[in-house]
Homo-oligomer: A and B are copies of this chain.
Amino acid sequence: MVNSQRQLSNIFSALADPTRRRILERLSRLGQCRVTALAKPFRMSLPAISRHLRVLEEAKLVHRQKKGREHLITAEPETLKGAQQWIAQYVTYWESRFDAMDEILKRQTRKGSKS
């Protein structure tokens, strides 16, 4: 579970960068993947990608398994799910608030059309 504000901040900052989002996208298409393979389509140095991966890893959006000299990167969907839930709490709350508002407006309209 995503608990702390700190972790939530890490997750959202990680997702805020388009390169990191593309890495996640790529990871979802390719599945477990080596660093170099992940980095391939980016017009950016390997150290830059390495750093992005560290950010994703610190946010626990990604998990690293060392196998010899290769580092195999895997997505960690549970974390993304945590962020999703954080957001969902507000969306559902606001939706219900707006639905309630709609209801009130409808009733007022009915009353209005009666008189």
Interface set of A (CB-CB < 8 Å, partner B): 5, 8-9, 12-13, 15-18, 21, 24-25, 28, 31, 75, 77, 80-81, 83-84, 87-88, 90-91, 93-95, 97-98
Q: Is the interface of A mostly helix, strand, loop or mixed?
A: helix
Q: Are B28 and A5 in contact (CB under 8 A)?
A: no
Determine if B16 and A12 form an interchain contact, defined as CB atoms under 8 angstroms apart: yes
Ranked nearest first, the 8 interchain pairs of A and B with the lowest CB-CB distance are A77-B94, A12-B16, A13-B16, A12-B15, A84-B87, A5-B18, A12-B12, A81-B91
A81 partner residues in chain B, CB cutoff 8 A: 91
Cα of A40 to Cα of B71 in the assembled complex, Å:
48
Q: How far is the CB of A14 from chain B (nearest CB, A)?
A: 8
Neighbour of A93 across the interface among B9, B28, B83, B91, CB < 8 A:
B28
Residues of B within 8 A of A28 (CB): 90, 93-94, 97
Known: A16-B16, A25-B90, A28-B94. 5 other contacts (CB 8 A): A8-B21, A9-B18, A15-B87, A28-B93, A75-B94
